[in-house]
Chains A and B, each alone.
Chain A
Amino acid sequence: DAKTTQPNSMESNEEEPVHLPCNHSTISGTDYIHWYRQLPSQGPEYVIHGLTSNVNNRMASLAIAEDRKSSTLILHRATLRDAAVYYCILLTTSGTYKYIFGTGTRLKVLA
C-alpha cells in the first residue's frame, strides 16, 4: 500500500500562513490526495482534495508537487479554530477503493 508521512506537530502564530507538508513518495498515478482535520472529540472534517493540479477552496489551498510525491496544505491565515490534527490521505482507486490515512500533524495556533 502507498503511504503518507507527516510531521507529528507544528506551531503557527495566529493570522499567519501555515504550510503543512505531506510526503507520499509511493503514490500511484490514479491516487487522489485528500486532507481532513479532526478536532478533539469530533469526527474528521473534510478540508480539500486534488489529483494533479493545485486546488483552492474557501478553507485552504493544496499545492501538489509536479512528480506528485509530496503535497502541502496551506492555511492562508491561521485562527485559533484551526488548531486540530490534520491528516493527509491517499485514496486509491485502482481495483477497489481504499483510504490510507497518515499519522497526522497536530497544529497548535498561538494567540
Chain B
Amino acid sequence: ETGVTQSPTHLIKTRGQQVTLRCSSQSGHNTVSWYQQALGQGPQFIFQYYREEENGRGNFPPRFSGLQFPNYSSELNVNALELDDSALYLCASSPSFRGLVNEQFFGPGTRLTVL
C-alpha cells in the first residue's frame, strides 16, 4: 500500500508569484488536510477537504486555496507569495466518516522557500 506522497519535494519561488503543491492520498482515504509548518514551529492547520468539499479551515487568508479531486488527491494553491510563506507544507490523508477523522497519515512535506 502506497503512503501519502507530495510533490515537489523542494521549491523556490519569488515574492508575488503563485505556487501549486500536490498531494496523493493513501488508497481508500477520502479526507485530506493541509498544514503549514514554519521552521522550529508546530504545524498550523490550513484547511481540510472531505469528498471534494472544504469542511474546515484555519486562520489563513483567501490567497490560500485548495482542491480535492474525485480520486481524493489534492492541491494547495498559494497566490501572491510573501516571504513569511516560506515553510514546510504537509499534507495528511485519512479514512473518515462524514469528515470526522480518527487517524491522519502525513506525507513527507514540500519545502517552499520564497525569496
Chain A residues in the interface with B (C-beta under 8 A) = 1, 36, 42-46, 49, 85, 87, 91, 93, 96-104
13 CB < 8 A contacts A-B: A1-B59, A43-B92, A43-B109, A44-B92, A44-B104, A97-B99, A97-B101, A98-B45, A98-B57, A98-B58, A99-B35, A99-B48, A99-B58
Say which residue of B44, B57, B102, B107 sits within 8 Å of A43 (CB atoms): B107
B103 sits at the interface (CB 8 A): yes
Q: A98-B45, A100-B45, A101-B43 are in contact. Are A43 and B108 (CB under 8 A)?
A: yes
Q: For residue A99, which residues in chain B have a CB less than 8 angstroms away from its CB? A: 33, 35, 45, 48, 56, 58
B interface residues, Cβ below 8 angstroms from A: 4, 33, 35, 41-45, 48, 55-59, 90, 92, 99-109
Across the interface, do B106 and A101 meet the contact criterion of CB distance under 8 Å? no
Complex: how many Å from CA A99 to CA B104?
Answer: 11
A49-B102, A97-B56 given; A43·B45 CB < 8 A: no
Identify the closest chain B residue to A45 (Cβ): B106
A46:B103 contact, CB within 8 angstroms: yes
Q: Which of A43, A49, A91, A100 contacts B106 (CB 8 A)?
A: A43
Which of A1, A96, A102, A104 interacts with B56 by CB under 8 Å? A96
Do the beta carbons of B57 and A46 come within 8 Å of each other? no
Give A90 to B42 CA distance when docked, in angstroms: 13
Q: A43-B107, A44-B106 are in contact. Are A102 and B55 (CB under 8 A)?
A: no
- Give the docked Cα–Cα distance between A1 and B33 (Å): 18
A96 & B100 in contact (Cβ 8 Å cutoff): no
Which residues of the partner chain B approach A42 to less than 8 Å between Cβ atoms? 106, 108
List B contacts of A97 (CB < 8 A).
Answer: 48, 55-56, 99-101
Task: A45 to B42: give the CA distance in the assembly, Å.
Answer: 13
Cα A49 to Cα B55 in complex, Å, equals 20
**CB–CB B42/A87 < 8 A:** yes
Contact of B42 among A1, A91, A93, A101 (CB under 8 A): A101
* Docked complex Cα distance between A78 and B83 (Å): 39
User: For the complex, what is the distance from the CA of A42 to the CA of B42, rounded to whole Å?
Assistant: 13
Having A43-B108, A87-B43, A103-B41, one finds 11 other A-B pairs with CB under 8 Å, namely A43-B106, A43-B109, A45-B106, A49-B103, A93-B100, A96-B56, A99-B45, A99-B48, A101-B45, A103-B42, A104-B42
